[in-house]
Amino acid sequence: MTDAHDTDLKNDLAATLHARGELGPEYESELVDSFLEKIDSRIDGAVERRLRRGLAEQQMQAARGARRSRGTDSWGERFGFGIVSLVVAIPLSAIGGAFAGMTGLIATWVGIVGVNVAQAVRLHPGLFRGPGHQD
C-alpha cells in the first residue's frame, strides 16, 4: 500500500511540475500550496492512523487488565524511529525548501517534529503532565 501512495505522490509532483511549466511562474505559489496540502494531508492521515492504532491497543490492554510491558518501549524502537525520521526529513526538507523557500522548510520541520512528539506521547502517555500530576 505504501508503494501505491509513493507512486501517487510522485505522480502528483510530476503533474505539479508539468503544470508549472505550462502555467508559468505566476502560478507557482498556488501549485506549491496545493502540493504541500497533499503532503500535509498524507502525513496527517498517517499520524492519525498511528494514534488510533495506539489508542486501540491501549484500550485492549485496559480491557484485559494488563499493564504495558517495558518490552514494547525498547531502545531499538526509539532509535530506529529517530533514524527513519531524519532520513525522511532530508528529501522532505529539499522539496519544501525548493517549492516554498523558508516557509516550506519550516512547515516541513513542524510536521517532522509533530510526528516525533506523537511517537513520544504514544510511548510515554504521561510525558507532558506536570510533575505533581497523579492519576
pLDDT tens for 72-110 read 567 778 888 888 888 888 898 999 889 899 999 999 999
**Does the residue 103 lie in any domain?**
yes
CA distance 39 to 36: 5
| Local confidence band at 12 (pLDDT 50, 70, 90 cut-offs) | confident
CA distance 58 to 67: 9
**Does the residue 128 lie in any domain?**
no
Closest CA to 93 of 85, 80, 104: 104
**Does the residue 131 lie in any domain?**
no
- Distance of alpha carbon 41 from its chain centroid, rounded? 9
**Does the residue 90 lie in any domain?**
yes
The domain tally of the chain equals: 1
pLDDT given for residue 106 in this prediction: 93
pTM over 0.85: no
**Does the residue 129 lie in any domain?**
no
pLDDT given for residue 134 in this prediction: 58
Domain residues for the domain of 10 are 2-123
Cell of 18: 508539468
C-alpha distances out from residue 72 to 57, 61, 85, Å: 12, 13, 19
